Amino acid sequence: MADIIDGRAIAAQLDEVTKAQVDALLADGHPAPGLDVILVGNDPASEVYVRHKIRACERVGIVSRKHQLPADTSQDDLLALIATLNAKPEVHGILCQVPLPEQIDPALVLGAIAPNKDVDGFHPVNVGRLSTGTGGIVPCTPLGVMKLIASVVDDLTGKDVVVIGKSNIVGKPVANLLLDAEATVTVTHIYTHGLADICRQADIIVAAAGAPRLVRGHWVKDGAVLIDVGITRIEGEDGKTKLVGDIAFDEVQHAAAVTPVPGGVGPMTIACLLSNTVKAARVAYG
Ligand code: GUN
């Protein structure tokens, strides 16, 4: 039987470290780190994500402020809010939840957040730093994926890792992190020819295509490590909605280890957001 990688437990351990860092800042006389979260419109999934992020801040002592703007907010008004937050010393992290309504250009907005407050790691400066291995703020989900892999693989040197998905949020940054760890990385996507055969060579598969049950049991070699970033809400046979990943979880008992959905990558994303926020505050405090 494959081991189940418990993302909730690993995230809780990271939260302990983050909370201790917050306590140390307070003990040094600094104000608590602050995270400002911007939500434009009423996308139900985004509302849930933002609620989880804000609740998590409370757990570790980060002050969070939510800015909920109407769906018809203009791009200029959003940019003006970001400029205000960029200038406030008590704001250490700014997160603008995507997707954004269609009148707003996400690249423009994400690029307007000060790079040292960009706790998502989406700003081109942070993307550039990551791709050149020169520091910066690392995006939360890729960072969480690396920590989950590290919980079961000591050394990535020369390991064959297949990443499925080429998004700016997960696929591309996780590929860079894996390369920095000396893995041999193959980046694929849903249009890749022979994807099953490519996956069968992999020591580790990071599935981030957003395609439910894309990775079947016969795609996975014995003893592989499987990280499932996919999370899609579907209606089950009983009429209830459920969350499914990109990996057919019930078919991969021959793997060495696999992350569940939910309870795998999701909690790590939030724990890494908190960790990035405290890191940004520590840099700001010098
Ligand atoms: N939407 C889905 N995931 C994310 C994330 O990690 N950050 C932001 N800002 N929006 C998201």
Check residue 136 and give its pLDDT: 96
pTM of model > 0.95 = yes
Check if the beta carbon of residue 129 is closer than 8 Å to that of residue 166.
no
- Tell me the catalytic residues: 53, 97, 120
Check residue 220 and give its pLDDT: 99
> For 174-194, what is each residue's pLDDT tens digit?
999 999 999 999 999 999 999
What H or E segment, with its residue span, contains residue 272? Answer: helix 265-285
Q: What is the CATH number assigned to the segment(s) 30-121?
A: 3.40.50.10860
98 C-alpha to ligand 1 centroid (Å): 5
Q: Is the predicted pLDDT of residue 73 greater than 90, yes or no?
A: yes
Check if the beta carbon of residue 210 is closer than 8 Å to that of residue 164.
no
Whether 231 has a binding-site annotation, put simply, is: yes
99 C-alpha to ligand 1 centroid (Å): 8
CA distance 164 to 202: 11
SS3 sequence of 81-128: HHHHHHHCCCCCEEEECCCCCCCCCHHHHHCCCCHHHCCCCCCHHHHH
* Nearest atom, ligand 1, residue 273 CA: 6
Structure-block tokens of residue 47:
């509302």
In the CATH hierarchy, which top-level class contains the domain 140-266?
Answer: alpha beta
Closest CA to 202 of 221, 182, 188: 221
Domain positions in the chain are 30-121, 140-266
Same CATH fold assignment for domains 30-121 and 140-266: yes
* Nearest atom, ligand 1, residue 46 CA: 1
Residue 236: which pLDDT band, with cuts at 50, 70 and 90?
confident
238 C-alpha to ligand 1 centroid (Å): 30
Mean pLDDT throughout 56-83? Answer: 98
Pocket of ligand 1 (CB under 6 A): 95-98, 120, 140-141, 269
Q: Identify the residue whose C-alpha is closest to ligand 1 atom 2.
A: 98
255 C-alpha to ligand 1 centroid (Å): 29
Structure-block tokens of residue 122:
């989406």
Whether 131 has a binding-site annotation, put simply, is: no
Residue 108: which pLDDT band, with cuts at 50, 70 and 90?
very high
3-state SS assignment for residue 24? helix
Check residue 96 and give its pLDDT: 98
> For 39-52, what is each residue's pLDDT tens digit?
999 999 999 999 99
End-to-end CA distance of the chain: 48
* 140-150 and 7-27 helices, crossing angle to 10°: 110
* Nearest atom, ligand 1, residue 98 CA: 10
Residue 148: which pLDDT band, with cuts at 50, 70 and 90?
very high
Whether 275 has a binding-site annotation, put simply, is: no
Q: Report CA dihedral (117, 80, 84, 57) to the nearest 10 degrees.
A: -50
Q: Is the predicted pLDDT of residue 138 greater than 90, yes or no?
A: yes
What is the chain's mean pLDDT, rounded? 97
Whether 10 has a binding-site annotation, put simply, is: no
Q: Identify the residue whose C-alpha is closest to ligand 1 atom 8.
A: 97
What is each CA distance from 46 to 39, 53, 172, 186, 194, in whole angstroms?
A: 8, 10, 22, 31, 34
Q: Cβ of 148: how many Cβ atoms within 10 Å? A: 26
Check if the beta carbon of residue 212 is closer than 8 Å to that of residue 244.
yes
Q: Cβ of 136: how many Cβ atoms within 10 Å? A: 19
Residue 196: which pLDDT band, with cuts at 50, 70 and 90?
very high
What H or E segment, with its residue span, contains residue 204? Answer: strand 204-207
Residues 68-88 as b/e (b if ≥16 CB within 10 A, e otherwise) read ebeeebebeebeebbeebeee
Check residue 17 and give its pLDDT: 98
